[in-house]
Structure 1
Amino acid sequence: MTTHRKKLIEVSIPLEAINVASAREKSIRHGHPSTLHLWWARRPLAACRAVLFSQLVDDPSAWPDRFPTPAAVEAERNRLHKLIGGTKEAEYKDGLVAWESSNNEAVLNAARWEIARSVAWGLGEEPPPPEDGAAILAYLQAKAPPVYDPFSGGGSIPLEAQRLGLRAYGSDLNPVAVLIGKALVEIPPKFAGLPPVNPASRDQRARGGRWQGRGAQGLAEDVRHYGVWMREEAARRIGHLYPEATLPDGSKATVIAWLWARTVRSPDPAAKGAMVPLVSSFVLSTKEGKKAWVEPVFDAAAPDGWRFEVHTGTLTKVEEERLKKGTKSDGRGAGFACILTGAGITGAHIRAEGQAGRLGARLLAIVAEGSRTRIYLSPTDQQEALAASLANDERVLDAHIGTLAQAVPERLTGGTCYAYGLTTFASLFTPRQLVALTTLSDLVAETREKVLADAMYAGLPADPSSLAQSGTGATAYADAVATYLGFMVDRATDRNCSICSWDAGPPGSKSSTGGSARTAGVRNVFARQAIPMTWDYAESNIFSESGGGFLSALDWIIPAIQRSAVPIGPGGLFLVDAAKNSFPVRPVIISTDPPYYDNIGYADLSDFFYVWLRRCLSGIWPDLFRRLTTPKEQELVATAYRHGGRDQAEAFFMQGMGDALTAMRKAAVDDGPLAIYYAFKQAEVAQEGLTSAGWSSFLQAVVDAGLGIDGTWPVRTEMANRMIGSGTNALASSIVLVCRKRAQDAGIATRAEFIRALKRELPDAIAAIRRAGVGPVDMQQSVIGPGMGVFTRFAKVLEDDDSAMPVKTALSLINRVWDEIENELTEAFDAPTQVALAWFATYGFDARPSGELITLANAKNIPLATLFSSGVFQDLRGKAGLVARDDLPDGWSPATDRAATIWECVQHTIRVLNAEDGGAEAAAALVAQMGQRSEDARALAYRLFEIATQKGWASEALIYNALAQEWPRLAEMAPAVIARGPVAAAQATLF
């Protein structure tokens, strides 16, 4: 059997630091690649960077001649952990995974050198000097295997591979995803270091200015310049369609948004056929002291006998709750109520009217820009009439029969508006939005011609090869700028659509960057993964300076271009079906984030953007936009409604994913692990646990493809305290599966042999996982790795009837053996700790009649007096209970307490760790004095976490999870405490 050098990811990674950085990344927007263009369920860059690094760097145990002792191996492993994760004292902002490190050449070069060192040692060579960044990059380009992600999606993995100096490739079935990846990975390096070509920049340089930009900053400046020109030219052509609002004092103000309410004909004959509004809320702003709302007014002179008036001021709580109901109905089976008669309006009636094309719209309110505030105005006939006059505009009619006439998904996991008559993408937009967006789309091609002329004038090579043909001259540069301008249009569609709603800005809500309470504004279409029906919608002024304005897209796109990973090396994104085994690059390191069973229908969702990109860019990227919509049938998602039922959908997913995984195995290098992400749906785990259909089906596909599983690392984008608080404690955002090609000579085992192997190998594996810093909240998923490693070591495991054991059964057995190991560990604790565990599992820290404790003491054959004298239990005269942490005595030491228990070790460590005059050093002193009991104490913390979680004691569970994760640092500090002498160690615990 071939022996491979173990990679770091197969042994140990700094999981806590990776998870902290991944969770923190969610609050980072400025310059993040995700702001270039929306894509769903992106993996955090921090996780991708750490996983890729750990896939390529050897674990020190692979080099016994260089790291000959366990201590040397552990020291080197800890050094690599610090390089990846940084230090807790710096809140992990000094490691490779930190957002601050994404463009820190010193940190990145250190990581690249580690990769180069592992590659060089494997080839019997020495790496370039650590300080020679250029030589390191050249070596990696020449000698390191390329990275390939066959499900590249939003491009996070190829981008991070490129940042680490590797040749980076990816592919996807979805052309929108491929174009996003090209814009992040492929385009910026082509034009890295070039100064901008726009006339304003040229004139500045001609006057003596010097271009001092780096990387893709020149490209970014040109995108900004030509994006502004596009906006100004569009405003010149159609700006009159976006008039200013007249304020009560007669002055003018820029409109931020027009708020509309859809209308439907009342089903009540008493309403005499009137169209009545469907409003989800009449509240426009909830800002204290400046609340704004709409009141419907009955007016016989108004159309259909009613109109809207806007009011500002203060509201009572009762009034605000009434207004927040809008026209929604309290009646059974009715979604809304007729404002004229109060009759219920059912969803069936609204759907029927919508499908017949009979839904209307009335202006609800106008939001204007004031001096550092929003001004809310009542609708006017003039503003309403102008918008209505565009219904028969030639551009609107063309949109309804052109590219935008493609069908909206009839069914979508998160909901769709199709049932209400919004059946084409054109129907999702108001006439004014269609005029504006088609005008801007058409301007992309015109702007490209300006860029081309300016690029030629600036001296770029007159190479006629297009960007799609791998050109690098003026033609390709014009294509590149136009691509980002197409993204500007696409970003604008997400906030200029009749699915957008108005966010009244609830009090106390935080902005995405953690700032003050957000102000009211326009929500984008994809606030969730759906195209839902919106009853009252917000129409942005595309020429305003607000979030719905066209130029606001530049504020997101430009930083993303500027922070791209250039200049580094080659990268490429391809339009490829992963299941077809047609990888254009091989052999490769596989690191990928594949579809997740039935989680997200990317193809259906992305058509919203595809139809606009096709209109803007089909001439530049003809191969990507040759179809009318994105491919659907081949998409690897187990969608029951697409495949004729749940069973058929699962069979489709299994077959396709199996083919894709087989293709990955064939394309992968022989001496490196594959990393495959899997994301859990919360409901999936809550209902079925870790043997859920999606998870077990995915693992089954991995096994059937001839891959063995070496490890499972839970990566989360929510911190453990939030997850426990919400009742989803042991749920990682995703799990990284570490796989190897299974040996061709793998044997066959029986069920009994498999269980014996689990019992033999899991204890050491679990201990190693704990030493690696995996906290209790992530243990269940992490234990799957070594358990599946045993299972996939064999070609198959036979059941008693000689049938092959499925993965779902193997998962159950792994969990069962893990429980048995944990129970055996409990039995190894001292008797008072065993009694304390049993009491805690039943009563927590509550007191109960002493008879309850007597029963437990007799079961463990320990005198009651011993329990009271141990410092674990307290005698409350007829009652008994565990000694609360706040009541534990100061100055306790496991070195001086002759009857010290493991329970006391844990509880006292928590006490001093969280004490105002204690902290990590005092806790480390206790750990130092525990000696061999230290590992038992840490194991008890894991067990207490499990009990607290099962009981729903969230705050208590958090305490034990935090202690277990802190333990490696305390153990690392312990030798220094011991070195200062026993007196110093004892004094550290005295308060």
Structure 2
Amino acid sequence: MTLTANEASEVVPFSLRDEPSLIEKAWPTAKISAETQKERKAVQGQTLTGLGSYWKGRKPLILTRACVLATLLPATDDLERDVEIFEKLMGMSDETFGRRFEGGPTAFAKLFPEHAYEVADDTGRWNWRDDLDPRERQKRIARAFMDMPYAQRLAHVKRPEELAERDLLSGIWQEVNDHLGTSARTIAELVEQLGIMRFGRRPLLADTFSGSGSIPYEAARVGCDVLASDLNPVACMLSWASFNIVGASPERHRQIEREMQDIADRVDRKISDLGIEHDEKGNRAKLYLYCIETKCPRTGWMVPLSPTWMISKKRNTIARLVPDHANKRYDIDILTGVTDAEVKASETGTLQKGRMLHPMLDDDLGISIKEIRGDFRTDSGVNGNRLRPWQQNDVSPRPEDIFQERLYAIQWMDAEDIKNGKANPRNWFASVTPDDLSRESAANDYAAQNLEKWRREGCAPDMEIETGQETARLLRERGWTHWHQLFCARQLIAGALVLQNGQKSPETRALLARYINWNSKLCHYGTGAARESTAQTFYNQALNTFPNYGVRSYGFARSFLDGVPGNAPVGGNAQIKNASAKDVVAKVDMYITDPPYADAVQYDEITEFFIAWLRKNSPAPFNEWIWDSRRNLAIKGEGQSFKVAMIDAYRAMTEHMADNGIQIVQFTHQDAKTWSDMAQIFWGAGLQVVQDWYVSTETMTELKKGGYVQGTHMIVLKKRQGALSGYTDEIVHEIRDEVERQIKDMIGLNDQMDAARGENIFNDADLQMAGYAAALRVLTAYTKIDGNDMTREALRPRKKGEKTLVDELTEFAVQTANEFLVPEGLERELWLDFNGSERFYLKMMDIEEAGEAKLDQFQNFAKAFRVGDYDEMMASNSPNGAKLKTGTKLGKTSMAEGVPFGRDSIVRLTLRAIWRVGKEDEVEDVLEELRDLIPDYVRKRDVLVQLCTYMASKRGESEPEEASAARILGTAIQTERI
């Protein structure tokens, strides 16, 4: 898209060049966090996940949109109005909810019964009123939503990207253009005009760690020109697919669908001709269930290993082992419709906690798999075992191998239903027959006979597995030495046929990557209450081997090929480079990067799973990339080498950035020392921090429990100007002044928004992070501190346990910020007297009152208040419902001397006293104990009264009995005679 001459005359190039961006001053992070969470919870419904969810670091699209718009929008003297305009453009303003509401009249009446008749009639069932035009109805629906907290609204509405832009942003453009001096009618036009006003052109945005491509894709969708680069070719492929498959024009997208349908059909015909998926009645396999099998060293029996023999709960289907004494092995019968008791019994399989147990083994302890493998450790510390390393041409185990692979059940689809085109044909599980084994043998023979030819043609993996942190287990646990051995014969045949039929199609290769992610021997088969499921290979970012696994037939799995992800066209131009982050060549206006800081995901290793399939005979543009993980060049981990590599990367970006350009670094990490490291990286790169926002980006699952990071810091940076020198004692005062100014400005804006609209745009996490931001902003402005060149200092290795000047100054800034996080109901002077543990407890009481608290909030505030161990204060560590112990739950525990939240803590003593009153101890006895335990009790009475009042207000709804006890205690202290 290019501006017409008339449109171009509406904007003045570089008129915003020196104006601060909105993201430097204000950003409604609470709303952005809520929208981000909603997008995350859409799971497979997210725009780009259809390309494959094996790259786990994908940031939500709405977060990138918020970054791009807030970077281009100016911060004027009327910040409140600036935020309103931003929210209108994001589809987050109040009036938008009338358009975003996704329910009908019945749903609305149930949700807002007091507003129902404003928009609907009840004639036995609810119908929209026909005397209201759609716009008026949307206005009234929006007014109803205004009484609901923002995060709660989102459960009942569509995501902004699910609506057409013309519908989502209907009626806003006059206000937007009047405020900005633009003439736009779409987001893309606005982005281009603001880019001209700020940079003299449509903005060019780069992401040099593009990963899955979500950042450059969304930047292009809103109208930027983008440069996406990554060292990893799989990342480049995902970025390419986001632009050229999901982001294709509607016409091209329809063409891709036709092409993939044709390729999938051709493969289907060949597999049908081979006769390896159909039985003699024409029924087609849907799923094959395999397990490993091994000889018991005690009994000599061949034992199939699986942690469970339950196959389907909803069908009451199980696998039952039947001893074959003559051959010392077990037949496996598949039984359907068994009793619940039989299902329950089948849940315990022959492999429990790493030990083999089976009916013929008279040993309740079982035999360790380590013993069966023959694990050992040499005197020199090298680990090994007796598993035979598979040879290059092995497709399946040899008879002498310790672990065999056994097909033990097949799920079939009904032939007649398939013939009649039923979307969900009837299906059932059945035992494996001799005919099934014959088809299995035919598939193995065909794969073995053709493997070498497929490799020469580039249609099958020919790479050896290089050992590494993630890949070493493949040899250790299964003996696999080459990547093709992670796939059974059926999967190799399907993959090779797909590549043969789509050799010149980059789209085919991108979708084949999705296909093989769901079709390998690492796809775990599990059962739930309502369904059977076979997981994807990278369900948790690792190469996990399983004793039992599911193999989809091609007839069932082809949807991963011809089920082309939905269409959401991009507006800007895109370039994709397979290059290191430091190899930037273009002059860029904006960078948004999500670097691999202290990243535990070994993408360089695990993506070799895909590279092995895709590296040969690549079509354009894939043939321009190096199809190797280049492990030695990948930036990962932490420590000195990582820091130097990061400085090189960000220095190159800074050198290739407009003087008024902005970088946003998405930083997801909890370790406090990393803030100091980041400061040194920015110093070395010639960047100065100007702002930091905290956005809650992650949803919690069973896989993410514990210390999993739930939020992302959006660190806003600009080029450092000049060469400033200073001394620590001066910088300390400057940091304090900057923290105070920053937080007062933010609180003031919150007060304005609360008075005008009844809402805040900053939460406590934002105010807390203002300490980090202010410290980094001050520190990174200097090139010399105490005579030390900070750029050179940034490259100096950190000694183990060393606490640097930057560490100390950063901690000081955060403590200064914490002085302003005073919960409503407490005086600031009193707040400053409390220790960190007391502040933590009182602050989390305040947060709990507003609703369920997230674990990451507890983690952030514990870090901020320097509370090393807060477990004794916690009643629940649930990720989405963390909770403090009440005074009642604390009881008389945790009253040790000399600890921050023990008998020397006035907050802890108050909680103990409330507990005693609540269990109906004599109030005078409780007061007497307080007098004994608090040396200067008389002077502390006002503090105790204020604490009782505060605790009563915070526990009024959640713990009414404790709130009542707090009020009784406060009154008693206030009225006692001394």
TM-score (norm 1): 0.67
- Structure 1 residues 172 and 626, CA gap change in structure 2 (3 angstroms): closer
- Structure 1 residues 411 and 111, CA gap change in structure 2 (3 angstroms): farther
- Please show how residues 225-304 of structure 1 align to structure 2 within 5 Å: 225-241=258-274, 253-268=283-298, 270-271=299-300, 274-287=301-314, 290-300=315-325, 304=328
In the alignment, structure 1 residue 596 sits paired with structure 2 residue 620: no
Q: Which runs of 5+ in 2 are unaligned?
A: 1-15, 95-144, 374-384, 391-396, 415-423, 751-759, 795-803, 843-904, 918-925, 961-966, 972-978
- Structure 1 residues 233 and 339, CA gap change in structure 2 (3 angstroms): farther
Larger deviation, residues 798-807 vs 809-818 = 798-807
- Structure 1 residues 115 and 409, CA gap change in structure 2 (3 angstroms): farther
Equivalent of residue 568 in structure 2, options 546, 563, 567: 563
Q: Deviations over 1:902-949 (max 9, x none)?
A: x99xxxxxxxxxxxxxxxxxxxxxxxxxxxxxxxxxxxxxxxxxxxxx
Contact 1:102 1:108 in 2 (8 A): no
Contact 2:578 2:626 in 1 (8 A): no
Contact 2:474 2:480 in 1 (8 A): yes
Deviation of 1:738 (Å): 0.8
Q: In the alignment, what sits opposite 2:580?
A: 577
**In structure 2, what is the Cα distance between the partners aligned to 1:413 and 1:812?**
36
- Structure 1 residues 441 and 872, CA gap change in structure 2 (3 angstroms): same
What secondary structure sits across from 1:276 in the alignment?
strand
Contact 1:758 1:790 in 2 (8 A): yes
Amino acid at match of 2:559: L
Deviation of 1:48 (Å): 0.9
**In structure 1, what is the Cα distance between the partners aligned to 2:711 and 2:808?**
24
Contact 1:714 1:732 in 2 (8 A): no
- Please show how residues 598-637 of structure 1 align to structure 2 within 5 Å: 598-615=599-616, 618-621=618-621, 623-627=623-627, 629-637=628-636
- Please show how residues 785-864 of structure 1 align to structure 2 within 5 Å: 785-798=773-786, 805=804, 807-819=806-818, 828=828, 844=911, 846-848=915-917, 849-851=926-928, 859=936
Q: CA RMSD in A?
A: 4.3
- Please show how residues 741-752 of structure 1 align to structure 2 within 5 Å: 741-750=719-728, 752=729
Deviation of 1:757 (Å): 2.2
- Structure 1 residues 677 and 251, CA gap change in structure 2 (3 angstroms): same
Q: In the alignment, what sits opposite 1:221?
A: 254
Amino acid at match of 2:334: V
Deviation of 1:105 (Å): 3.8
In the alignment, structure 1 residue 714 sits paired with structure 2 residue 694: yes
In the alignment, structure 1 residue 757 sits paired with structure 2 residue 777: no
Amino acid at match of 1:255: A
Equivalent of residue 80 in structure 1, options 69, 83, 86: 86
Amino acid at match of 1:174: N
Q: In the alignment, what sits opposite 1:40?
A: 56
Amino acid at match of 1:395: N
Q: Deviations over 1:725-761 (max 9, x none)?
A: 96659x54321111111122222222x3232223222
Equivalent of residue 330 in structure 2, options 295, 300, 306: 306
Amino acid at match of 1:850: L
Q: In the alignment, what sits opposite 1:659?
A: 648
Deviation of 1:253 (Å): 3.6
- Structure 1 residues 264 and 133, CA gap change in structure 2 (3 angstroms): closer
Q: Which runs of 5+ in 1 are unaligned?
A: 62-71, 193-215, 449-481, 508-516, 639-648, 875-879, 890-899, 905-991
**In structure 2, what is the Cα distance between the partners aligned to 1:131 and 1:417?**
51
**In structure 1, what is the Cα distance between the partners aligned to 2:830 and 2:625?**
69
- Please show how residues 948-963 of structure 1 align to structure 2 within 5 Å: none
Q: Deviations over 1:11-38 (max 9, x none)?
A: 1111111111111112323361121234
Q: In the alignment, what sits opposite 2:106?
A: none
Contact 1:758 1:814 in 2 (8 A): yes
- Structure 1 residues 860 and 115, CA gap change in structure 2 (3 angstroms): farther
Deviation of 1:110 (Å): 9.1
Q: Deviations over 1:563-612 (max 9, x none)?
A: 132xx2322111221123xx232132111112222322222122222222
Q: Deviations over 1:423-473 (max 9, x none)?
A: 21100111121112101110003xx5xxxxxxxxxxxxxxxxxxxxxxxxx
Deviation of 1:43 (Å): 0.9
In the alignment, structure 1 residue 369 sits paired with structure 2 residue 413: yes
In the alignment, structure 1 residue 49 sits paired with structure 2 residue 29: no
Amino acid at match of 2:465: V
Q: Deviations over 1:848-898 (max 9, x none)?
A: 523355579985856969977x89559xxxxx9889515999xxxxxxxxx
Q: In the alignment, what sits opposite 1:673?
A: 662
Deviation of 1:242 (Å): 5.8
Contact 1:712 1:783 in 2 (8 A): no
- Structure 1 residues 35 and 843, CA gap change in structure 2 (3 angstroms): farther
What secondary structure sits across from 1:412 in the alignment?
coil
What secondary structure sits across from 1:396 in the alignment?
helix
Contact 1:227 1:551 in 2 (8 A): no
In the alignment, structure 1 residue 147 sits paired with structure 2 residue 205: yes
Deviation of 1:377 (Å): 1.4
- Structure 1 residues 800 and 127, CA gap change in structure 2 (3 angstroms): closer
Deviation of 1:662 (Å): 0.2
Deviation of 1:486 (Å): 2.1
Contact 1:145 1:588 in 2 (8 A): yes
Paired residues, what number? 750
Amino acid at match of 2:93: G
Larger deviation, residues 412-421 vs 144-153 = 412-421
**In structure 2, what is the Cα distance between the partners aligned to 1:285 and 1:529?**
27
**In structure 2, what is the Cα distance between the partners aligned to 1:383 and 1:255?**
10
In the alignment, structure 1 residue 425 sits paired with structure 2 residue 483: yes
In the alignment, structure 1 residue 381 sits paired with structure 2 residue 358: no
What secondary structure sits across from 1:633 in the alignment?
helix
**In structure 2, what is the Cα distance between the partners aligned to 1:650 and 1:102?**
45
- Structure 1 residues 235 and 884, CA gap change in structure 2 (3 angstroms): closer
Amino acid at match of 1:21: E
What secondary structure sits across from 1:404 in the alignment?
coil
Amino acid at match of 2:927: S
Contact 2:210 2:236 in 1 (8 A): yes
Deviation of 1:392 (Å): 3.6
- Structure 1 residues 811 and 372, CA gap change in structure 2 (3 angstroms): farther
Amino acid at match of 1:49: R
Equivalent of residue 31 in structure 2, options 9, 13, 17: 17
**In structure 1, what is the Cα distance between the partners aligned to 2:344 and 2:501?**
46
**In structure 2, what is the Cα distance between the partners aligned to 1:12 and 1:704?**
27
**In structure 1, what is the Cα distance between the partners aligned to 2:155 and 2:743?**
29
**In structure 2, what is the Cα distance between the partners aligned to 1:277 and 1:710?**
61
Deviation of 1:651 (Å): 2.2
In the alignment, structure 1 residue 128 sits paired with structure 2 residue 183: yes
What secondary structure sits across from 2:658 in the alignment?
coil
Q: Deviations over 1:498-543 (max 9, x none)?
A: 11121212x3xxxxxxxxx5x2122111111011112111111111
In the alignment, structure 1 residue 543 sits paired with structure 2 residue 566: no
Equivalent of residue 58 in structure 1, options 74, 87, 95: 74
Equivalent of residue 737 in structure 1, options 704, 707, 715: 715
**In structure 2, what is the Cα distance between the partners aligned to 1:150 and 1:94?**
35
- Structure 1 residues 792 and 859, CA gap change in structure 2 (3 angstroms): farther
Deviation of 1:94 (Å): 13
Deviation of 1:658 (Å): 0.7
Q: In the alignment, what sits opposite 1:344?
A: 367
**In structure 1, what is the Cα distance between the partners aligned to 2:580 and 2:75?**
34
Contact 1:147 1:161 in 2 (8 A): yes
Contact 1:5 1:671 in 2 (8 A): no
Q: In the alignment, what sits opposite 2:450?
A: 395
Amino acid at match of 1:74: E
What secondary structure sits across from 1:42 in the alignment?
coil
